């Protein structure tokens, strides 16, 4: 079910289970000690977070069954999968003892014990990997030591079945506690794999041998940058550590997954060989030499955290842009961000200049929708953070870059988390830095806290009234809050001060679109193209405005111009919408598949999957594929709606997708969206389609009549396949004729 219910955390029962107290909260939900009166035993009951309620129930049950099928003694036993009042929970064995975290670092490293634990975990994980299950969050807090000394693996109740499109970290909510054990390729958006589990277990072994995790003094962006930009060859070990143990850690944590030990069985073979070679004393053999170098100390005390960019530089930022509907799904209009390994390109500059690196990063942020610009911005800021992890301006710049990456085709939750961590780190270092508050405004915007985000943007502008990053954030927030009069006045000021700043024209065009004035939206977007012919964003938006004005040939021409500059998910999405409007469903599906691909677009953007689903729905034999795509869109939208529960676009789209999968909660979502933004033509159109799908013809006609009055194009209504039967209703013709008059 797709509905919001009271959290089990506020209750004392879940079904027939009596909740006795909270044991903590993990990546998937809160865990309680509970009493099962039927079988008269104490259990652990994990109540899933709301975001996971939106996953297809059959998929959750399937994964719970897979995890329950694991026989190794290390896995916590799963007793049942329960549902109560639309909430879901997994009932598990209650494990006594303490986590591995409580013992690491508090006693002399014991190599023999470490090998025993690694071998047992590898043995268990080998079984899981054989059936396609990935843990995804192996770390000391998820390894329990029972009083008997046995090791148990926690948080496997929702183990991830191998999914080539799953790129979100499953438990990255606890910052350094997860990032430190996350494989570098995962931090760059690659999917979970068996190799990522092997890497995590290797870090656990390193921590067991040394008493602390790699880069123990770093957190947030600096920690992520350290893992992405370095290899485990540089990790320091105690002088007494046997070289064979060091090599095992390095083979398990190789930066390149292809160079890593290939399987948990291979890990066990290495452990067995070490045991045979080391005998009973694993610490008395030839120590490693090169590994004894201590971690270099930060230069933060000697370097200022405030770097001023050249005064002649005009910052130009990227912002969320408008979307139009095709079959009720939004046209994404954002840039693509290919996920590629980062390199130390700034290291080639001689001599290194911190101010130059900062200026380069800011310049690349100003070209955010150019191919590779955001990767270069992140590289530039991270080159500073590697040398000085407490550099506030670099942390703020990197935070904004990660926000832009999240808003682009990437849509990877890792980028949002890094943006939040970087903004907080920058504020902690320098609360008087305008850029830090601007970064916080963007991070809070992504989190859905618009009031706090607007306050952060205002604080940044109070510190620097000419800070374009803060101004951009404020403009976007006013747009999202639908404060159009205030937004229009501020845009007039911006265009007067910066007549060649395309940001003003893009946001102005978006505002006009949302108010149903696509003629003026077209003018604004054409001006943006003139100011920045190399930018993808304006081509995408202009094509959408032309589509709304029923000028399909011109829209296709503009899209081809943009594709010649650089292919992107936004352009392929709008191409799909034009083809869909023409009734070319196979062609539209191919375009939407490109938009949802990792190579040209983003598999993490719910809009891409919704567009694809809408199109597949009308291709013979693709109905089941369409339903899977709708469920994928729902799963990707759910966490965003959870963060921003009053967002009318999220509400109306969730209602529309729910209607497509026959969920009874669909019209509830629609009602909430209309309550928030009843004057939005897009919201009203989605409400009409959802109501028709739900069998509420009268309600659909009412929403459609209002949508046309607000300026929703008749052509797009006429091309919507889900409204074919409605358009044959005489009441539809009468309503349209009345509105035209």
pLDDT (tens digit per residue) in 431-452: 999 999 999 999 999 988 999 9
Say if residue 485 is exposed, middle or buried (CB neighbours under 10 Å; 0-12, 13-18, 19+).
exposed
| pLDDT given at position 551 | 94
Which single residue is written with the structure tokens 């109905």?
Answer: 623
Q: How far is Cα 582 from Cα 561, in angstroms, rounded to an integer?
A: 20
| pLDDT given at position 653 | 97
pLDDT at 320 over 60: no
Q: How far is Cα 322 from Cα 680, in angstroms, rounded to an integer?
A: 12
| pLDDT given at position 429 | 87
pLDDT at 574 over 90: yes
Q: How far is Cα 581 from Cα 329, in angstroms, rounded to an integer?
A: 12
Q: Which CATH class is domain 13-93?
A: alpha beta
Q: How far is Cα 17 from Cα 130, in angstroms, rounded to an integer?
A: 33
Band of residue 315 on the pLDDT scale cut at 50, 70, 90? very low
The pair phi, psi for residue 231, each rounded to 5°, is -120, 165
Band of residue 24 on the pLDDT scale cut at 50, 70, 90? confident
Q: How far is Cα 587 from Cα 701, in angstroms, rounded to an integer?
A: 30
| pLDDT given at position 478 | 96
Contact 717, 708 (CB under 8 A): yes
Q: What is the mean pLDDT of residues 623-649?
A: 92
Q: Which residue has the higher pLDDT, 343 or 432?
A: 432
Q: What is the DSSP letter of 712?
A: -
| pLDDT given at position 374 | 86
Contacts of 643 (CB under 8 A, 6+ apart): 446, 447, 448
Could you tell me the residue ranges of all domains in the chain? 13-93, 98-278, 644-740
Evaluate the omega torsion of the peptide bond into residue 351 and state whether it is cis, within 30 degrees of 0.
yes
Determine the topology of domain 644-740 in CATH: 1.25.40
pLDDT at 468 over 50: yes
Q: How many residues does the chain have?
A: 741
pLDDT at 7 over 50: no
CATH architecture of 98-278: Orthogonal Bundle (1.10)
Contact 78, 91 (CB under 8 A): yes
Q: What is the mean pLDDT of residues 590-611?
A: 88
Q: What is the mean pLDDT of residues 124-140?
A: 91
| pLDDT given at position 132 | 86
| pLDDT given at position 62 | 65
- Can you read off the two tokens belonging to residue 250? 């390095």
| pLDDT given at position 100 | 87
Band of residue 476 on the pLDDT scale cut at 50, 70, 90? very high
DSSP 595-624: HTSTTTS-TT-HHHHHHHHHHHTTSTT-HH
Q: Which residue has the higher pLDDT, 212 or 86?
A: 212
Contact 361, 375 (CB under 8 A): no
Q: Which residue has the higher pLDDT, 446 or 230?
A: 446
| pLDDT given at position 370 | 78
Q: What percent of the chain has pLDDT over 90?
A: 48
Alpha helices, H only, 211-283: 220-229, 243-252, 264-278
| pLDDT given at position 341 | 36
Contact 125, 135 (CB under 8 A): yes
| pLDDT given at position 679 | 92
For 262, the 3-state DSSP assignment is coil
Q: How far is Cα 734 from Cα 741, in angstroms, rounded to an integer?
A: 11
Q: How far is Cα 128 from Cα 130, in angstroms, rounded to an integer?
A: 5
| pLDDT given at position 337 | 28
Q: Which residue has the higher pLDDT, 379 or 520?
A: 520
Q: How far is Cα 411 from Cα 256, in angstroms, rounded to an integer?
A: 24
Contact 586, 580 (CB under 8 A): no
| pLDDT given at position 410 | 62
For 99, the 3-state DSSP assignment is strand
Average pLDDT, the chain: 81
| pLDDT given at position 421 | 83
| pLDDT given at position 694 | 96
List, for residues 513-532, the tens digit of each pLDDT value.
888 899 999 999 999 999 98
Query: How many helices (H) and strands (E) would you count in the chain?
Result: 32, 13
The pair phi, psi for residue 45, each rounded to 5°, is -120, 115
Q: Which residue has the higher pLDDT, 520 or 61?
A: 520
pLDDT at 454 over 50: yes
Q: Which residue has the higher pLDDT, 475 or 172?
A: 475
Q: Which residue has the higher pLDDT, 487 or 537?
A: 487
pLDDT at 324 over 50: no
Contact 497, 465 (CB under 8 A): no
CA distances from 61 to 56, 90, 445 (A): 9, 9, 34
Q: What is the mean pLDDT of residues 244-267?
A: 95
Contact 615, 583 (CB under 8 A): no
Residue (of 274, 111, 255) closest to 183 by Cα position: 255
For 665, the 3-state DSSP assignment is coil
CA 619 to chain centre: 30
Q: How far is Cα 361 from Cα 521, in angstroms, rounded to an integer?
A: 31
Round the CA-based radius of gyration of the chain to a whole number and report it.
27
Q: How far is Cα 387 from Cα 373, in angstroms, rounded to an integer?
A: 22
Contact 577, 541 (CB under 8 A): no
Beta bridge partners of 220: none
For 152, the 3-state DSSP assignment is strand
| pLDDT given at position 342 | 36
| pLDDT given at position 164 | 35
Residue (of 425, 641, 390, 168) closest to 439 by Cα position: 425
Band of residue 131 on the pLDDT scale cut at 50, 70, 90? confident
CA distances from 503 to 328, 367, 396, 415, 648 (A): 27, 11, 20, 23, 24
Q: What is the mean pLDDT of residues 547-576?
A: 93
Q: What is the mean pLDDT of residues 79-86?
A: 81
Strands 143-145 and 151-153: antiparallel
| pLDDT given at position 50 | 53
- Can you read off the two tokens belonging to residue 391? 């550099």
Contacts of 426 (CB under 8 A, 6+ apart): 392, 393, 395, 396, 399, 433, 435, 436, 439, 440
Contacts of 464 (CB under 8 A, 6+ apart): 434, 470
Q: What is the pTM of this model?
A: 0.58
Contacts of 519 (CB under 8 A, 6+ apart): 549
Q: Which residue has the higher pLDDT, 29 or 298?
A: 29
The pair phi, psi for residue 297, each rounded to 5°, is -80, 155
The pair phi, psi for residue 30, each rounded to 5°, is -85, 140
| pLDDT given at position 536 | 85
Among 50-54, 344-348, 502-506, name the most confident range.
502-506
| pLDDT given at position 299 | 28
Contact 549, 581 (CB under 8 A): no
pLDDT at 3 over 90: no
């Amino acid at each position: 079910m797709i509905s919001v219910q009271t959290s089990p955390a506020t209750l004392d029962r879940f079904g027939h289970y009596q909740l006795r107290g909270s044991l903590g909260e993990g990546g998937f939900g809160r865990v309680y000690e509970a009493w099962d009166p039927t079988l008269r035993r104490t259990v652990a009951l994990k109540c899933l977070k709301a975001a996971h309620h939106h996953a297809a129930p059959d998929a959750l049950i399937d994964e719970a069954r897979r995890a329950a099928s694991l026989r190794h003694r290390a896995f916590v036993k799963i007793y049942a999968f329960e549902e109560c009042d639309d909430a879901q929970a997994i009932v598990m064995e209650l494990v006594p003892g303490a986590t591995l975290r409580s013992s690491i670092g508090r006693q002399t490293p014991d190599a023999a014990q470490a090998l025993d634990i690694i071998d047992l975990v590898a043995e268990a994980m080998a079984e899981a990997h054989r059936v396609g299950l990935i843990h995804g969050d192996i770390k000391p807090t998820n390894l329990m030591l029972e009083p008997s000394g046995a090791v148990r693996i926690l948080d496997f109740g929702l183990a991830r079945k191998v999914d080539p499109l799953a790129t979100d970290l499953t438990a990255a909510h606890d910052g350094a506690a997860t990032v430190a054990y996350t494989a570098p390729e995962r931090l760059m958006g690659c999917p979970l794999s068996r190799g990522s589990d092997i890497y995590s277990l290797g870090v656990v072994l390193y921590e067991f041998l040394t008493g602390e995790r790699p880069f123990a003094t770093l957190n947030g962006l600096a920690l992520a940058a350290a893992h992405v930009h370095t290899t485990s060859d540089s990790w320091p070990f105690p002088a007494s550590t046997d070289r064979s143990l060091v090599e095992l850690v390095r083979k398990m944590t190789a930066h390149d997954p292809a160079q890593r030990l290939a399987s948990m069985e291979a890990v066990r073979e290495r452990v067995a060989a070490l045991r045979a070679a080391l005998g009973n004393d694993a610490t008395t053999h030839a120590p490693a030499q090169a590994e004894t170098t201590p971690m270099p100390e930060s230069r933060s005390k000697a370097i200022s955290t405030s770097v001023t960019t050249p005064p002649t530089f005009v910052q130009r930022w990227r912002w969320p842009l408008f979307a139009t509907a095709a079959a009720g799904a939004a046209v994404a209009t954002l840039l693509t961000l290919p996920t590629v390994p980062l390199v130390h390109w700034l290291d080639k500059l001689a001599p290194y200049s911190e101010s130059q690196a900062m200026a380069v990063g800011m310049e690349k942020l100003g070209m955010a929708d150019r191919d590779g610009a955001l990767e270069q911005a992140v590289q530039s800021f991270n080159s500073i953070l590697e040398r000085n992890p407490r550099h506030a301006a670099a942390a703020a710049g990197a935070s904004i870059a990660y926000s832009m990456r999240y808003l682009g085709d990437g849509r990877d939750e890792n980028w949002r988390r890094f943006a939040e961590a970087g903004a907080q780190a920058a504020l902690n270092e320098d609360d008087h830095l305008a850029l830090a508050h601007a970064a916080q405004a963007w991070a809070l915007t992504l989190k859905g806290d618009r009031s706090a985000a607007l306050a952060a943007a205002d604080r940044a502008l109070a510190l620097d009234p000419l800070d374009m990053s803060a101004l951009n954030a404020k403009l976007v927030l006013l747009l999202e809050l639908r404060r159009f009069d205030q937004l229009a006045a501020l845009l007039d000021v911006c265009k007067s001060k910066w007549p060649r700043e395309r940001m003003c024209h893009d946001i102005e065009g978006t505002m006009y679109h949302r108010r149903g004035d696509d003629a003026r939206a077209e003018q604004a977007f054409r001006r943006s193209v003139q100011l920045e012919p190399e930018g993808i964003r304006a081509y995408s938006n202009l094509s959408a405005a032309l589509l709304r004005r029923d000028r399909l040939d011109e829209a296709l021409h503009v899209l081809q111009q943009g594709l010649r500059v650089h292919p992107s998910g936004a352009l392929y999405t709008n191409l799909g919408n034009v083809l869909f409007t023409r009734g070319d469903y196979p062609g539209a599906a191919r375009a939407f598949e490109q938009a949802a691909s990792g190579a040209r677009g983003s598999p993490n953007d719910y809009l891409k999957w919704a567009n694809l689903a809408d199109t597949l729905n009308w291709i013979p034999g693709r109905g089941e594929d369409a339903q899977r795509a709708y469920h994928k869109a729902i799963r990707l939208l759910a966490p965003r709606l959870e963060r921003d529960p009053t967002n009318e676009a999220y509400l109306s789209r969730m209602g529309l997708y729910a209607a497509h999968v026959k969920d009874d909660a669909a019209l509830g979502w629609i009602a909430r969206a209309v309550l928030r933004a009843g004057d939005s033509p897009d919201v009203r159109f989605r409400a009409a389609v959802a109501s028709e799908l739900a069998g509420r013809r009268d309600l659909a006609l009412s929403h459609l009549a209002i949508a046309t009055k607000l300026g929703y194009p008749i052509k797009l209504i006429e091309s919507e396949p889900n409204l074919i039967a409605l358009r044959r209703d005489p009441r539809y013709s009468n309503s349209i004729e009345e509105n035209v008059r």
